[in-house]
Structure 1
Amino acid sequence: MTNKEILKDTSRILLGSALVFAGVSHLSFARKEFQAQVPNWIPLEKDDTVVYSGFVEIALGSALIFTPKKHRETVGKVAAAFFAAVFPGNIAQYTHDRSAFGLNTDKKRFARLWFQPALVYWALKSTSK
């Protein structure tokens, strides 16, 4: 295994682990905090949205960690699409001045917006062939 492959595998496993952790936190200790990121236009209750997205994050994280090599690129694209799909939540948190996760100023909430494209890139790069 080359150094590049080791780096990609490590990066993919770290991202998958972070997603599993985030998913578990959606279902437990950070459930209320995540509700601050649910846009008002989502047609579900905020708590239901947080729970469902938690299940998706656990599934995606597990898939990033355990999917065989031949399917990793597809899983990476699905994870990237998920990160893009939840981006409106970060925008809603910023535009509606919702404090959560220590993001209690407009400056901090705005800075958070730049992390979502990084997650999309991370998902694609760590699973590419």
Structure 2
Amino acid sequence: MSRSERSPLLLAGLLAAAGTAHFAVPRQFDAIVPRSLPGTPRTWTYVSGAAELALAAGIALPRTRKTAALAAAAFFVGVFPANVKMAVDWRDRPAPQKAAAMGRLPLQLPLVLWARSVARSGEGAA
């Protein structure tokens, strides 16, 4: 299997694992939901987890890959405020935890670019 064939499946796997984690250990995700959002943090945790699972399924299927990958890119941009909240909330934690929270911030850009690359490679699959 070539790299271009593996890339969408790896992205789908990442999203599926993250989506599953939202249901398996929701408390850690509840804590990073920005307070400005309406409703309860748990609702947002479950909605974002379900979105990640749906995106994973869409990317895994060649027929829906392009649309789902573009939606994933938008999703990665949309969850950035949660990563900012985590970095702010964790600024007084021990160095390894603070580094992990800060490390999530620049990670969003490669995720967006990866999803866009998958979308481009999926253009002929529709």
TM-score, scaled relative to structure 2: 0.84
Q: Is 1:13–2:6 an aligned residue pair? A: no
Equivalent residues of 1:9, 1:126 under 8 A apart = no
Q: Is 1:115–2:107 an aligned residue pair? A: yes
Alignment: residue pair count: 120
- State the distance in 1 between where 2:54 and 2:48 align: 10
Q: Which residues of structure 1 form unaligned runs of 5+? A: none
Q: Would you tell me which structure has more helix in proportion to its own residues?
A: 2
For residues 51-103 of structure 1, the C-alpha deviation after alignment (integer angstroms, 9 at most, x for no partner) is 111110000001000141xx43222111100110011100011122279xxx6
Report what 2:68 is aligned to.
75
**Partner secondary structure for residue 119 of structure 2:** coil
Query: Higher relative contact order at CA 8 Å, sep ≥6: structure 1 or structure 2?
Result: 1
Identity over aligned pairs, percent: 31
- State the distance in 2 between where 1:41 and 1:19 align: 25
Coordinate RMSD, CA, aligned: 2.3
Question: Aligned to 2:116, which of 115, 124, 129?
Answer: 124
Question: Aligned to 2:84, which of 86, 91, 94?
Answer: 91
Report what 2:54 is aligned to.
59
Q: Which residues of structure 2 form unaligned runs of 5+? A: 122-126
- State the distance in 2 between where 1:15 and 1:63 align: 11
